[in-house]
Structure formats: structure tokens, C-alpha cells
Amino acid sequence: MSTPASVTTELPGVLAGDRPRRPARWVRRLLRNPLSMAGTTIVALLVGCALAPGLLAPFPEDAGPSVHFDRAAQPPGPAHWFGTDEVGRDIFSRTVFGARVSLALVVAVLGIAVGVGVPSGLVAGYWHGRWPSTALMRVTDVFLAVPPLALALAVTAAFRPDLGSAMLAISFTWWPWFTRLVYGEVLARREEPYVEAARALGQRDRVILFREILPNVISPVVVKATLDVSFVILLGSSLAFLGVGAQEPTPDWGAMVARGRTFLPGHWWMSTMPGLAIFVAVMGFNLLGDALRDALDVWER
């Protein structure tokens, strides 16, 4: 069991010890394993695609309003690595730009899920036994009882089926998992000696929550968030496949797979290439998440 972070930082310098300037243990563990190296590389590449797609895409204008009917439906070749679609746009370039949509979705969804889930979990866990906590956990149970895809679809039916709705819908279904995780963690640490000590010293509840408990809860939340990235990408692309995704001409992997289906099996590349991107992205984040979990040495719940 690791020492609670707050205790070591409160102690005077000598007792805390001057920690040596080496990269943290978890970073070293991360880079040791070939699988985790692969994961890190893939994720780095994806982030690169999202931040600077213009550098990597040979035909960046094809991610915007442009049509070239003269080069429509070309199979993969030297000029167009992934081929072109039915209005002549380069699929490789569009796939690179598609990373942006997926990662934006991830940031939005996990941002909201953590932003809502962690505080509610803290509150529910700390004041466990009182009725607000129980009520909150019952609400969480209800949300957890509905399969995410079905609920997300039902929610998007209430709005226009575009990327914003997808973000909202998935966040709607995601926050309970974080609440439950944090709730469990808080329950476990509530009776720890250092918490009792803080209470005995007269610290207010709110301060205890944020100073003592929260820092120790961050680790599992980070791990879960990273592992969740791949699920969010999968869910997002599934929704886009079913029709709830970014609007044309913005490239969205799931939507590209769905539109390409009309042209199977003759023009197979229109569906298979973007699908490949989804697969690689999900796998990359999976590997990274696994590696991070091992490196941070947290018990799996």
C-alpha cells in the first residue's frame, strides 16, 4: 500500500528526503515492454494526426468542401494510398483528419464524465449512509442498468443526430462508472488513520475530502480514463456508423464506414480503410491503458 501523498508532502524537507532526479518509476516501466511501446507510438501518432493533420495528409483540402468527380472511386494505389471515395476525395487524407473528430469526442466525453462522476463519487462515498448518498447511488444504478449504446441512441433521437449530440449522449451514459469507482475508493479510505487524524485535528469535511482523499483516488481514475478511451472511440464510431456522427464534409471514421457500405464489395476500400483506422486507434489506447495500469501498480477492481 503506497503512502498517502499528503502525509509525505506535509513533512519537513529532511524527513521527506531529497528525491533523486530520475524519471519516475512508472515511466520506466511503461517503456520497458514492446507492447506498451507499440501502444505509446500509436497514440502519439494519433495525437499527431489530430493536432497537425495538414502535415501528414497529402490532400488536406479533401477534408473540406471539395469534389473531384474525375477521380471518383479509385482503388488504393500509389497516388491515393487508401483510394478515393465516390465524389473523388482522397480517403487517406480524410482518415488522417478523422483522428481529430475521434479525439475531440474522447476529450469531451471523458472530460464531462470525470467532471461529473468524480465529485459525485466523492460526495456519495464520504457521506455514505445519509440519504443523499443513497439516492445518488440509486440513480447511478439506474444509469448503469441501461446499455450505453441503446441509451445513447435514445438520447440522440431527442436531438439532431450530429457530433454534439453524440458527445452529450455518451457522456450521459459514462459518468456513472466514475461515480461508482470513486465511491468505492472513498469508502475504502474513509476509515484510514490519516483521515481520522485530520478529523481529530479539526479539519473540515470539505478540506479532508480534497486534501487527503482526492489525491489518492486520482490514480485509479486516470487508469480507468485511459482504458476507457478505446471504449469511447468504439462507441463513438458505432454511433456514427448508425448515423449519429459528424456532418459532411467533416471526416468521421464510423460515418465513412457506413457510407462506404453501399459500394461493397466492388469498391471495398471505402468501408475497410476507415474501419482499419478505428481498429488501430482502439488497440493503441488499449495497449497504452494496460501498460499504464501495470506501471502504476494499481489493483484491478
Partner 1 sequence: MNTRLARVLVASLVLLWTGLASAQGPPGKDIHFTYIEGQVVTTIDPAKHTDESSHHAIINMYDPLLYPKVAEGSMEPGPHVAESWRVTDGAKTYTFQIRKGIRFHDGKELTADDVVFSFRRMVALKKGFSWLWNDVLTAEQVRAVGPQTVVFTLNQPYAPFLSTLTQLFIVNRDQVLANKKPGTYGDAGDYGEAYLGDNVAGSGPYTKESWDRQTTLAMKAFPGYWRGWKPNQITRVTYRTVQEEATMRTLLLGGQADMIDQWRTPATFEQLKKTPGIVVDETPSAQLYHIELNTQRAPLSDIRVRKALAFAFDYKTAIDQIFKGAVPAKGPLPNRVYGHSEKVQAYAQNVEQAKKELADAGIKPAQLTFDYWFPTGNEIGRQIGLLFQANLAAIGIKLNLKETPWAQMVQASANAETNPDVASIFDTLKYPHPDSHTYGMYHPSAWGSYRTISRYKNDEVTKVLEQARATVDRDAQLGLYKRSQELVVQDYPSIYVANPLHRIAFRDYVKGYRYVGLLGYDVAFYDFTIDKK
Partner 2 sequence: MREFLLRRLLQVVPTVLGLLVLIFVVSRVMPGDPVRLALGPEATRQQIAAYEEKLGLDRPLPSQFGHYVAGLLRGDLGESIRTYRDVRLDIRDFLPATVELVTVALVIAVCLGVPFGIVAAMYPNTWIDNLSRLVAVPGVALPRFWVGILLQVGLAYQLGLFPIVGRAVRAPQTITGLYLLDATLTGDGGALLDAVRHLALPALTLALPTLAQVARLTRAAMIDVLKRPFMLVHAAYGVPPRRLVWRYGLRNGLTSVLTLVGMTYGALIENAFLVEVVFSWPGLSAYGAAAVLAKDFNAVVGVTLVVGLSFVLANVLVDLLYGYVDPRIRHN
Given the rule CB under 8 A, which residues bind partner 1?
A: 65-67, 69, 72-73, 86-87, 160-162, 243, 247-249, 259, 261-266
Half-sphere exposure of 172 (CA within 13 A, CB side): 19
What track of x and - describes contact with partner 2 for positions 187 through 226 (by CB under 8 A)? ----------------------------------------
C-beta pairs of 210-215 under 8 Å, 24+ apart in sequence: 211/6, 212/4, 212/6, 213/122, 213/126, 213/186, 213/189, 214/122, 215/4, 215/5, 215/6
Which of partner 1, partner 2, none is residue 247 near (CB under 5 to 8 Å by kind)?
Answer: partner 1
**Which among partner 1, partner 2, none contacts residue 299 (Cβ within 5 to 8 A by kind)?**
none
Q: Which is nearer to partner 1, 79 or 264 (CB)?
A: 264
Q: How far is the CB of 5 from partner 2 (least distance, A)?
A: 28
Whether 261 and 275 have beta carbons less than 8 Å apart is answered as no
264 binds partner 2 (CB under 8 A): yes
Q: Tell me the closest approach of the beta carbon of residue 222 to partner 2, in angstroms.
A: 20
| Distance between start and end Cα atoms, the chain | 15
Q: Which residues of 34-69 are buried (b: 16+ CB within 10 A; e: fewer)?
A: eebeebbebbebbeebbeebeeebebbebbeeeeee
CB 283 within 8 A of CB 276: no
User: Exactly one of 133, 242, 259, 298 binds partner 2 (CB under 8 A); which one?
Assistant: 242
What does 27 bind: partner 1, partner 2, none (CB cut-off 5 to 8 Å by kind)? none
Neighbouring C-beta atoms of residue 190, cutoff 10 Å: 15
Binding site for partner 2 (CB under 8 A): 35, 138-139, 141-143, 145-151, 153-159, 230, 234, 237-238, 241-243, 254, 257, 261, 264-265, 268, 271-272, 275-276, 278-279, 282-283, 286-287
